[in-house]
């Protein structure tokens, strides 16, 4: 499939699946990913690669399964090649480099796994940044709400910080395409934008959706320069001003 937009950001999908993007680039790619069905489909195919790499790196190859053990420099070089090519190469190049890493670390056994051997395929692994946001949501003080009109389900997790309040949003049962924002409203009526995001056509947290990506809720992180005790509620709205949900703090 030919990507519908220029390949500069599409090429990041392989590096994102391998977890080699730095935090800033990963965050920018996630913004792009939210509005790009093509990258979402490609990522779903690639998400098993990190687990394959980890499983075979942790194994202990014997002389019968591997004829030479590469030094760490070769492995680091291959990972460096992934990083170096992510901006100017297509997904095929990134996938081949990742496959080469698996073959070097795991030897012939890894080749059998990639070719569909007897071993079960690894379970998809969540990208590192997405997992970190989910962990932040789980650790904070949570409040939830389901809007009676839109049926959008929203949860907000809060954690006090020296600079204000760290906020993580969990959003489900919302369909796009939409551009949305999370607003923190203080007890004095003061309003602050916590974060903004895009909802693709398939939506987030849609039960029974044929695509796994669309069945998962959206997690978005941000912060408010308000103390936890000064926040009255949160509003989730489109950028055009249509309310999707309100969560009492």
How confident is the model over 50-72, as pLDDT tens digits? 565 565 555 545 444 444 444 45
d(C-alpha 136, C-alpha 190), whole Å: 25
For residue 169, count CB atoms less than 10 angstroms from its CB and return exposed for 0-12, middle for 13-18, buried for 19 or more: buried
CB 218 within 8 A of CB 197: yes
DSSP run (H or E) holding 181: strand 178-186
Number of domains in the chain: 2
User: SS3 of 152, please?
Assistant: coil
**Widest CA span in the chain:** 71
* Location of structure tokens 């019968």: 64
**Domain end position, chosen among 114, 147, 162:** 114
Model confidence at 188: pLDDT above 50: yes
Query: If pLDDT is split at 50, 70 and 90, which confidence band does 241 have?
Result: very high
Kindly give the pairing relationship between strand 153-161 and strand 164-172: antiparallel
Query: Above 60 in pLDDT, residue 35?
Result: yes
Structural domain boundaries, residue 180: 128-248
Q: How confident is the model at residue 15 (pLDDT cuts 50, 70, 90)?
A: confident
Q: What are phi and psi of 174, to 5 degrees?
A: -130, 130
pLDDT of the residue at 21: 74
Same domain, 19 and 69: yes
Name the β-bridge partners of 160: 165
* Residue 112: per-residue pLDDT: 38
Q: Is the pLDDT of residue 237 over 60?
A: yes
pTM for the structure as a whole: 0.50
> Residue 164: which pLDDT band, with cuts at 50, 70 and 90?
very high
Q: Is the domain of 240 the same as that of 133?
A: yes
144 and 93 co-located in one domain = no
Distance of alpha carbon 226 from alpha carbon 185, whole angstroms: 9
Whether residue 181 is contained in a domain is answered as yes
* Domain boundary pick from 114, 148, 166: 114
The reply to whether 109 falls in a domain is: yes
The more confident residue out of 162 and 9 is 162
Same domain (yes/no): 68, 149: no
Q: What is the pLDDT of residue 24?
A: 78
């Amino acid at each position: 499939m030919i990507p519908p937009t220029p390949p500069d950001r599409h090429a990041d999908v392989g590096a994102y699946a391998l977890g080699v993007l730095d935090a800033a680039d990963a965050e920018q790619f996630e913004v792009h990913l939210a509005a790009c069905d093509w990258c979402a489909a490609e990522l779903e195919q690639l998400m098993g690669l990190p687990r394959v790499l980890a499983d075979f790196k942790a194994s202990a190859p014997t002389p019968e399964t591997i004829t030479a053990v590469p030094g760490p420099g070769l492995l680091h070089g291959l990972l460096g090649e992934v990083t170096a090519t992510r901006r100017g190469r297509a997904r095929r190049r990134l996938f081949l480099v990742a496959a080469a890493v698996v073959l070097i670390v795991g030897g012939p056994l890894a080749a059998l796994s990639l070719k569909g051997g007897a071993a079960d395929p690894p379970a998809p692994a969540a990208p590192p940044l997405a997992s970190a946001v989910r962990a932040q949501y789980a650790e904070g003080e949570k409040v939830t709400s389901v809007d009676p009109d839109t049926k959008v389900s929203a949860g907000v997790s809060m954690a006090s910080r020296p600079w204000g309040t760290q906020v993580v949003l969990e959003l489900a049962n919302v369909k796009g395409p939409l551009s949305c924002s999370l607003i923190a409203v203080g007890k004095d009526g003061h309003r602050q934008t916590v974060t903004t995001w895009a909802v693709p056509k398939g939506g987030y947290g849609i039960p029974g959706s044929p695509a796994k990506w669309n069945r998962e809720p959206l997690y978005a992180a941000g912060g408010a320069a308000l103390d936890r005790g000064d926040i009255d509620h949160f509003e989730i709205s489109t950028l055009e001003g249509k309310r999707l949900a309100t969560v009492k703090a």
